[in-house]
Amino acid sequence: MNATTTDTHCPYCALQCGMALRPTVGAGSGGAPTPVAEVVEVVERPAFPVNRGALCGKGRTAPDVLSPSARLTTPLLRDPATGRLEPAGWEEALDRVAARLAGTRAAHGPDAVGVFGGGGLTNEKAYALGKFARLVLGTSQIDYNGRFCMSSAAAAGTKAFGLDRGLPFPLADIPRTGCVVLVGSNPAETMPPALRYFTELRENGGKLIVVDPRRTRTAEQADLHLAPRPGTDLALALGMLHLVVAEGHVDQDFVDARTSGWAEARSAAMAHWPELVERVTGVPVPELREAVRLFCGAEHSMVLTARGPEQQSKGTDTVGAWINLCLATGRAGRPLSGYGCLTGQGNGQGGREHGQKADQLPGYRKLDDPAARAHVAGVWGVDPDTLPGPGRSAYELLDALGGDVRSLLLMGSNPVVSAPRATHVEGRLRSLDFLAVCDVVLSETARLADVVLPVTQWAEETGTTTNLEGRVLLRRKAVDPPRGVRSDLAVLHGLAERLGWEKGFPADPEEVFDELRRASAGGVADYSGITYRRIAEEDGVFWPCPELDGDQVGGAPEVDGESGVPEGWAADEDPANDYGASPPPHPGTPRLFLDRFATPDGRARFAPVTHRPAAEEPDDEYPVYLTTGRVLSQYQSGAQTRRVAELNAAAPGPFVELHPRLAERLGAADGDRLAVVSRRGRAVAPARLSTGIRADTVFMPFHWPGEGNANALTNPALDPTSRMPEFKVCAVRVELA
């Protein structure tokens, strides 16, 4: 066996766990070992700090999708005579895509062409896709499925702190704090290697509070589990803040010195007294008081949110209320305390930082900011006035397909399964004049396309991702892709060339990253001091990381208080080290806000928010709450994990989780087929009885298409700020199928 290994990272969630890949050999005829082309096995990387060698089943089996039998290996074109997708050559396929996009633009204007990206694309692909949309196509109509991931947390974090990064501290800080409130997150199933941080927290004497309508595997590990009605997390946070004020836990010195807007936020919270909050949420007052006691009784505390409170039509306000709790108690901008968001998708953080989000340019710059437009246009060599303005958010873009938007280029997403009101979205995709899809597999969305382009995946290409800590990582190429497969960057290069842009769209990822560095320089998400070499040598680099000159552009590096040298360097090391430069490179910023927040005046801002109901509450016709989520052995729309035998054996299909009392009222037994019906659609799946869910709520995972597609039911009601759909709560009725 060849012992050569390649260090890389898992292709799935935002932990971006470190792993290594090693080529394997197979048995030829007669039993003699012969190399099997591009077959690899996963090897642990115990030294990588995020997962320390631990991997979940998805990570261990990720190489299964590299097999040519599991994925696309040739372009497909729809035959107008038969309506079937047929194999074709690359030149013909790219010619077809370029001609149809150009034709739509010529006939209906640039905004008739849409672009939809994915939170799994590398930073280089996300950057190139945004640049392609705005320069080559001239369209404002670009967004990505990361809008469905943590956009509410991003909006609330930006309002409060002036900057959005999933976690403003490393995961390693979690076991060292005193109390963590984990809101709407189930890492035991969604990112299992992260669970050890919460286990170590409790081993160190810290407390874990889990807020979730279900008693999940994570909630079972908690010191206190609060089970609010779906859609009432905002009231719960306000009720806790009310008790913080009433019981004298406000850190007034911190509030006065480092925040603004407290009077308005305090007034709003005081309208949410404990007994009212109990009536709204179903959480008993004694449990509410115990949560405040644990949170405020610890010297350091954190609040971490995930999709539960964020995927709501009031998600930005809900996250803002949890941030208020941190600010009022001085649990922000200090070591081992703070608010953070557990990002879901593999590159959900980097994906929006560099240009595939409707309102943002590279470096997390705002598209409507003249200075931002001028900087990025200068890097791209164009007039800032030629850049289009902000476009529609993800669901609004999908809803416009077949109307204002006539053609769509889609890269790395499967909205037929993953979008809210999925049956409607499928109809909009079918109504397009032209659809081109770049993907690794023939997903449910790709099956609707006029052209399907087979592209490389994680182990077959090099590129960077940014994990939930803001740590920029390097995924290295370990194997060659099957013949007939090209990278997304090569696709964009080929299309740009055909559409009149011979330069500006290189296929080499490091060349793209170097341009991304220049485009991000001086922005909120400044990557200019990060290089492939640094990432490889340092196990990733935390942004912001400006490229320093003699004037220390971007501010001085964070300094270790004991050694007096930049954090990350040992006291006896020469800071110039191997980089051959003085001053030393900026070491990156693992911990944000310790001296000031990223607002103009350096102060964090309270959000004066009040509770309001979900967009759709149960009634006589639809008397039950539906909430959705993930299971351990599948990932997102399942387009890749559903092709892995081991994962399918563990999680073969959808189900409806419900309390035995609700099942008794329905006359249903475990395993019976249930129909869950909302105002938007109907889904059918077997019953799974559990005392760990509220009796007024059912849960469905959303990984499967067909009759069990949970997103056929979900409500696309949008948060007014983040434009996040309300995946986590809608009204349904449940009946025997």
Summarised one tens digit per residue, pLDDT across range 310-321 is: 999 999 999 999
Residue that terminates a domain, selected from 328, 344, 360: 344
pLDDT of 410-454, one tens digit each?
Answer: 999 999 999 999 999 999 999 999 999 999 999 999 999 999 999
Confidence bin at 149 (pLDDT 50/70/90): confident
Task: Say if residue 677's pLDDT is above 60.
Answer: yes
Question: Does some domain include residue 604?
Answer: no
Residues 487 and 357 occupy one common structural domain: yes
Percent of the chain surpassing pLDDT 90: 90
Q: Which tokens go with 234? A: 């905002």
Per the structure, the count of domains in the chain is: 4
Amino acid at site 558: E
- Which pLDDT score, from 0 to 100, does residue 549 have? 66
Cα atoms in the 13 Å half-sphere on the side-chain side of 623 = 9
Task: Say if residue 571's pLDDT is above 50.
Answer: no
Task: Say if residue 31's pLDDT is above 60.
Answer: no
Residues 170 and 316 occupy one common structural domain: yes
What average pLDDT does the segment 559-583 reach?
36
Residues 509 and 388 occupy one common structural domain: yes
**Residue 442: CATH number of its domain:** 3.40.50.740
Q: Which tokens go with 666? A: 């329905």
pLDDT of 267-325, one tens digit each?
Answer: 999 999 999 999 999 999 999 999 999 999 999 999 999 999 999 999 999 999 999 99
What average pLDDT does the segment 396-402 reach?
98
Residues 326 and 405 occupy one common structural domain: no
For 480: left if phi > 0, alpha if psi spans -120 to 50, otherwise beta; the answer is beta
Residue that terminates a domain, selected from 319, 344, 369: 344
What average pLDDT does the segment 192-196 reach?
96
Residues 298 and 172 occupy one common structural domain: yes
Question: Does some domain include residue 565?
Answer: no
Angle subtended at Cα 162 by Cα 160 and Cα 166, rounded to the nearest 5 degrees: 80
- Which pLDDT score, from 0 to 100, does residue 85 have? 98
How far, in whole angstroms, is CA 656 from its chain's centroid? 25
- Which pLDDT score, from 0 to 100, does residue 483 have? 92
β-strand partners of 675: 684, 735
Question: Does some domain include residue 572?
Answer: no
Residues 176 and 120 occupy one common structural domain: no
- Which pLDDT score, from 0 to 100, does residue 579 have? 37
- Which pLDDT score, from 0 to 100, does residue 548 have? 81
Confidence bin at 150 (pLDDT 50/70/90): confident
Confidence bin at 563 (pLDDT 50/70/90): very low
For 585: left if phi > 0, alpha if psi spans -120 to 50, otherwise beta; the answer is beta
pTM of the model: 0.92
Task: Say if residue 25's pLDDT is above 80.
Answer: no
Question: Does some domain include residue 371?
Answer: yes
- Which pLDDT score, from 0 to 100, does residue 23 have? 87
Residues 361 and 340 occupy one common structural domain: no
Percent of the chain surpassing pLDDT 70: 93
Q: How far apart are CA 378 and CA 216, in angstroms?
A: 50
Which of these, 169, 318, 340, 331, lies nearest to 259 by C-alpha position? 331
Range of the domain at 628: 624-736
E strand or H helix at 437: strand 434-439
Residues 366 and 510 occupy one common structural domain: yes
Residues 306 and 417 occupy one common structural domain: no
Question: Does some domain include residue 290?
Answer: yes
What are the E-state strand segments in 624-677?
624-629, 656-658, 673-677
- Which pLDDT score, from 0 to 100, does residue 69 have? 86
- Which pLDDT score, from 0 to 100, does residue 38 have? 52
- Which pLDDT score, from 0 to 100, does residue 513 have? 98
**Residue 34: CATH number of its domain:** 2.20.25
- Which pLDDT score, from 0 to 100, does residue 582 have? 54
Task: Say if residue 530's pLDDT is above 50.
Answer: yes
Residues 60 and 115 occupy one common structural domain: no
Question: Does some domain include residue 475?
Answer: no
Confidence bin at 583 (pLDDT 50/70/90): low
Residues 142 and 155 occupy one common structural domain: no
**Residue 688: CATH number of its domain:** 2.40.40.20
For the ranges 10-19, 119-128, 347-356, the lowest mean pLDDT is seen at 347-356
Give one DSSP letter per residue of 538-579, joined into a string.
HT-EESP-PPP-TT-TT-PPPB-TTT-SBTTS-TTS-TTGGG
Question: Does some domain include residue 524?
Answer: no
Residue that terminates a domain, selected from 14, 48, 66: 66
pLDDT of 453-511, one tens digit each?
Answer: 999 999 999 999 999 999 999 999 999 999 999 999 999 999 999 999 999 999 999 99
- Which pLDDT score, from 0 to 100, does residue 584 have? 80
Contact between residue 329 and residue 323 where contact means Cβ atoms under 8 Å apart: no
Q: How far apart are CA 455 and CA 121, in angstroms?
A: 11
Question: Does some domain include residue 614?
Answer: no
Residues 180 and 51 occupy one common structural domain: no
Dihedral angle over CA of 82, 85, 89, 94, nearest 10: 100
- Look over the chain and give the mean of its residue pLDDT values, rounded to a whole number: 92
